[in-house]
């Protein structure tokens, strides 16, 4: 009989698999991919996942170690999920072992049994009597029995102390067989009889057209881009599609951006359905995450809602995938396995042969391009549900106008007018802190981070200078560290400064700030929103946290203090992001009775992209931006991969990238790959960050196939390069941020 050799994926950054002999006493075992094994690795032990069983290994037989133990009687990973992980690992050029580490619940990776938690329930025995002579002189036991008898469904073990049930008394009762213990599987109960807990809204014409188109595709792979303006009732369309899906006995997976994790999102699903909803995101503890994962896998969760990583939740009967706010940056993971959950969701939908809906008021240029080329069905909802009007946009040219804490005179007047009319104002400034930097008026010294090529932000309230890139914090100096004068001035304005100024300008109205500094307390947001919902005139000022999820029906003026950053940034995606933010912020405002107005302060009032956006709307802007991308040969008309490197000493990262570049050039020639261009190596836009020197090399390709052929061969070579040991390097396929 040939040897059984187990080829395992281990949680190691190396892009290779590891061979082991079968553990002792497993001669009868049928090994299947996905089973977990505990194995020796160097001086440690690791949990590996079986990828395949082979009969020959490169490793000499006497060097091959046996695995220590088999952890699963059957594979806990459904084949569909395994397939998705394999695809992910290959596409993103990431080791399979580490890919599985990102994709699977922590407890599974740690070797925890792939079983739902067991819960013990205490019951009074059916024939137990309180006047049983055996407890006549044991009042504690009698009391305990009495309490248990009041709970005909039993009492969960962890609730014993809450009901003042003493464990010792129960054990004594158990010995007398007056009580019993039942072990139940933790998790959701049985499936509901009727799905709807709340009636559905009658869809308007546009919603209905979108709904019908998608419904007709249930049962097979088809991607849709649901481009509906903010407040157009996209969520209602999702809910009704999910209902269809539930009726067909299928499960639905809904991905939402990190920031939308508010209780509102979940509440809408819970109010609508009598369904078992599994919540999957990073704030859910490991045990609950494993339970949610198992419930979804076993068909005991009907709806799975979560952020990026929830994409890897297995489903027994997959029916539909929804990606809400598909343009959102949080779908892209920026560390380790650098995957894009939206892009992977498409792969998954195709593999599982189900429809996928990408919804947004401001679709990404990638998705719009896919809609134009016919890969996605395009469904538009151009009107708000309930008849509310779209806000009107005004560009306010602030060239040579003085800015007072970032706010121009005409903007102040507009804010004052709105408040006087008894309405609310939303002020948007995507920069937290008091001021972006501190300047010495005497010698020109600027406050800089000692570890980054970046200025430190003044946080006045806490009296600190903070680096927003590495977290460095120091006290605001009293005098200039360079010349000693005391004339230090904050330059520019962040939300803290604008808030302070607005409170002085409009003392009769509350000014509420929403950013990461103001809302670190968990329920601060909720309280804030309750105040706003009351409808009294007030000013709401904040960063992009304001742009998402919430509706502020009483806001009639949106003041955007700075749109220019997005128009002259070196990042080719900056203008797209700026446009999305402006439209999303604007979409928070106005209702049927009171259409909103959006005023944008800018030094570039004639910039064609800004003109398009404000006069003709997001889709016109997107057309123009796509035309520019096409002309420049940028995504979605080209494909990128970015090799990043960083090191403690200057020059090391470049040295590695120079070698990497030479290796790539050789491979391009050797494999006769066309349409590939290597750009760099160049220093990263922020060359030093957190004390490391950074550089990058960009690969630009007209076609995907040659790009991936290069990457496959290239990564193996890079792992062997000696200069790679001195640097931290990583590859980002389809990078979103080029720094």
Annotation: binding site: 440, 443, 449, 452, 467, 470, 480, 483
Phi and psi, residue 286, nearest 5°: -60, -40
Min separation Cβ 371 and ligand ADP, Å: 17
d(CA 525, CA 514): 8
Residue closer to ligand ADP, measured from CB, 77 or 371: 371
**Least separation in angstroms between CB 559 and Zn ion:** 30
Q: Which does 234 bind (CB under 5 to 8 A by kind): Zn ion, ligand ADP, none?
A: ligand ADP
What is residue 632's three-state secondary structure?
helix
* DSSP letters spanning 301-366: -SEEEESGGGGG---SSEEEEEEETTT-GGGB--SSS--BHHHHHHHHHHHHT-EEEEEESS--HH
Instruction: Report d(CA 352, CA 314) in Å as an integer.
Output: 11
CA separation for the pair 232, 618 (Å, rounded): 15
The entry of Zn ion, ligand ADP, none near residue 451 (CB within 5 to 8 angstroms by kind) is Zn ion
Q: How far is the CB of 87 from ligand ADP (least distance, A)?
A: 30
Q: What kind and span of H or E run contains 647?
A: strand 639-647
Tell me which of Zn ion, ligand ADP, none is bound by residue 181, counting a contact when its beta carbon lies within the kind-specific cut-off of 5 to 8 angstroms.
Answer: none
The interface partner of residue 469, options being Zn ion, ligand ADP, none and the CB cut-off 5 to 8 Å by kind, is: Zn ion
Binding residues for Zn(2+): 440, 443, 449, 452, 467, 470, 480, 483
Considering the complex, what minimum distance in angstroms separates the CB of residue 443 from Zn ion?
A: 3
User: Which residue sits closest to ligand ADP, CB atoms considered?
Assistant: 233
CA angle 361, 363, 366 (to 5 degrees): 175
Phi, psi of 329 (to 5 degrees): -65, -20
For ligand ADP, give the closer residue by CB, 233 or 636.
233
| Among ligand ADP, Zn ion, none, residue 688 binds (CB under 5-8 Å by kind) | none
Q: Nearer Cβ to ligand ADP, position 228 or 542? A: 228
Q: Is the dihedral of CA 687, 690, 691, 695 positive or negative?
A: negative
Shortest Å, Cβ 488 to ligand ADP: 45
By a kind-dependent CB cut-off of 5 to 8 A, residue 445 interacts, out of Zn ion, ligand ADP, none, with Zn ion
Q: What does the alpha-carbon distance between residue 295 and residue 133 come to, in Å, rounded to a whole number?
A: 45
Rank residues 149 and 203 by Cβ distance to ligand ADP and give the closer one: 203
For 691, which DSSP code? T
The residues of the shown chain that bind ligand ADP, judged by CB under 6 A, are 201-204, 207, 228, 230-236, 385-386
HEC assignment per residue over 17-49: CEEEECCCCCCCCCCCCCCEEEEEECCEEEEEE
Cβ closest to Zn ion, residue 96 vs residue 480: 480
**What are the residues binding Zn ion (CB under 5 A)?**
440, 442-443, 445, 449, 451-452, 467, 469-470, 472, 480, 482-483
Query: Cβ closer to ligand ADP: 229 or 368?
Result: 229
Q: How far is the CB of 494 from Zn ion (least distance, A)?
A: 17
Cβ 244 vs Cβ 216: under 8 Å: no
Distance in Å, CB of 370 to ligand ADP, minimum:
20
Nearest CA to 703 among 642, 640, 643? 640
Helix orientation angle between 574-586 and 618-632, rounded to the nearest 10 degrees: 170
By a kind-dependent CB cut-off of 5 to 8 A, residue 232 interacts, out of ligand ADP, Zn ion, none, with ligand ADP
CA-to-CA dists, residue 339 to 16, 90, 102, angstroms: 19, 11, 10
Q: What angle do CA 247, 249, 255 make, to 5 degrees?
A: 90
Closer residue to Zn ion, CB minimum distance, 175 or 483: 483
């Amino acid at each position: 009989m040939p040897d059984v050799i187990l080829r395992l994926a281990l949680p190691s950054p190396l892009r290779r698999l590891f061979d082991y002999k079968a553990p002792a006493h497993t001669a009868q075992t049928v090994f299947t991919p996905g089973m977990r094994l505990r194995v020796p690795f160097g001086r440690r032990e690791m949990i590996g996942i079986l990828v395949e069983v082979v009969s020959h290994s490169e490793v000499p037989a006497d060097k091959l170690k046996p695995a220590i133990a088999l952890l699963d009687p059957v594979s806990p990973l459904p084949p569909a999920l395994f397939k998705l992980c394999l695809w992910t690992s290959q596409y993103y050029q990431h080791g399979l072992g580490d890919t599985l580490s990102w994709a699977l619940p922590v407890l599974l990776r740690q070797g925890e049994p792939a079983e739902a938690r067991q819960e013990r329930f205490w019951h009074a025995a059916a024939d137990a009597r309180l006047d049983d002579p055996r407890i006549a002189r044991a009042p504690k036991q009698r009391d305990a029995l009495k309490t248990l008898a009041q709970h005909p469904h039993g009492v969960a073990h962890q609730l014993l102390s809450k009901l003042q049930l003493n464990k010792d008394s129960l054990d004594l009762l158990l010995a007398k067989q007056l009580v019993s213990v039942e072990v139940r599987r933790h998790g959701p109960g049985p499936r509901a009889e009727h799905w709807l807990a709340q009636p559905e809204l009658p869809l308007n014409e546009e919603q209905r057209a979108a709904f019908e188109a998608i419904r007709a595709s249930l049962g097979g792979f088809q991607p849709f881009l649901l481009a509906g303006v903010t407040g157009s009732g996209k969520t209602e369309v999702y809910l009704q599609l999910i209902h269809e899906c539930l009726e067909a006995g299928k499960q639905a997976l809904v991905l939402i951006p990190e920031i939308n994790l508010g209780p509102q999102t979940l509440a809408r699903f819970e109010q609508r359905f009598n369904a078992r909803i599994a919540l999957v995101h990073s704030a859910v503890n490991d045990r609950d995450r494993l339970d949610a994962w198992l419930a979804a896998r076993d068909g005991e969760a009907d709806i799975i809602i979560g952020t990026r990583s929830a994409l890897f939740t297995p489903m027994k009967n997959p029916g539909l995938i929804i990606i809400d706010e598909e343009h959102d940056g949080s779908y892209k993971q920026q560390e380790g396995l650098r995957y894009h959950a939206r892009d992977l969701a498409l792969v998954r939908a195709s593999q599982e042969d189900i429809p996928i809906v990408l919804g947004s008021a401001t679709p990404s240029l990638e998705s719009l391009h896919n809609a134009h080329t016919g890969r996605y069905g395009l469904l538009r909802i151009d009107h708000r549900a309930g008849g509310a009007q779209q806000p009107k946009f005004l560009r306010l040219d602030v060239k040579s106008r003085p800015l007072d804490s970032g706010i121009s005179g005409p903007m102040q007047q507009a804010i004052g007018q709105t408040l006087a009319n008894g309405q609310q104002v939303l002020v948007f400034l995507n920069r937290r802190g008091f001021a972006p930097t501190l300047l010495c008026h005497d010698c020109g010294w600027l406050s800089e981070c000692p570890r980054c090529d970046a200025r430190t932000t003044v946080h006045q309230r806490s009296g600190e200078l903070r680096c927003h890139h590495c977290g460095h914090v120091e006290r605001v100096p009293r005098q200039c560290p360079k010349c000693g004068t005391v004339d230090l001035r904050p330059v520019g304005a962040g939300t803290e400064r604008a808030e302070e100024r607005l409170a002085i300008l409009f003392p009769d109205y509350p000014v509420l700030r929403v950013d990461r500094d103001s809302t670190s307390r968990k329920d601060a947001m909720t309280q804030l929103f309750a105040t706003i919902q009351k409808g009294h005139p007030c000013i709401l000022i904040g960063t992009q946290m304001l742009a998402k999820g919430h509706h502020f029906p009483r806001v009639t003026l949106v003041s955007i203090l700075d749109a220019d950053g997005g128009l002259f940034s070196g990042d080719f995606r900056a203008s797209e992001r700026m446009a999305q933010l402006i439209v999303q912020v604007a979409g928070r405002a106005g209702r049927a009775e009171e259409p909103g107005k959006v005023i944008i302060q800018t030094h570039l009032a004639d910039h064609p992209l800004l003109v398009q956006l404000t006069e003709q709307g997001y889709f016109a802007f997107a057309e123009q931006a796509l035309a520019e991308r096409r002309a420049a040969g940028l995504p979605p008309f080209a494909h990128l991969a970015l090799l990043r490197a960083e090191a403690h000493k200057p020059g090391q990262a470049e040295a590695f990238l120079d070698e990497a570049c030479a290796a790539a050039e050789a491979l391009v020639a050797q494999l006769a790959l066309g349409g590939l261009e290597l750009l760099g190596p160049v220093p990263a836009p922020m060359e030093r960050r957190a004390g490391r020197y950074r550089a990058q090399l960009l690969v630009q390709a007209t076609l995907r196939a040659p790009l991936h052929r290069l990457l496959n061969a290239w990564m193996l070579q890079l792992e062997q390069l000696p200069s790679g040991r001195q640097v931290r390097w990583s590859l980002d396929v389809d990078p979103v941020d080029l720094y």
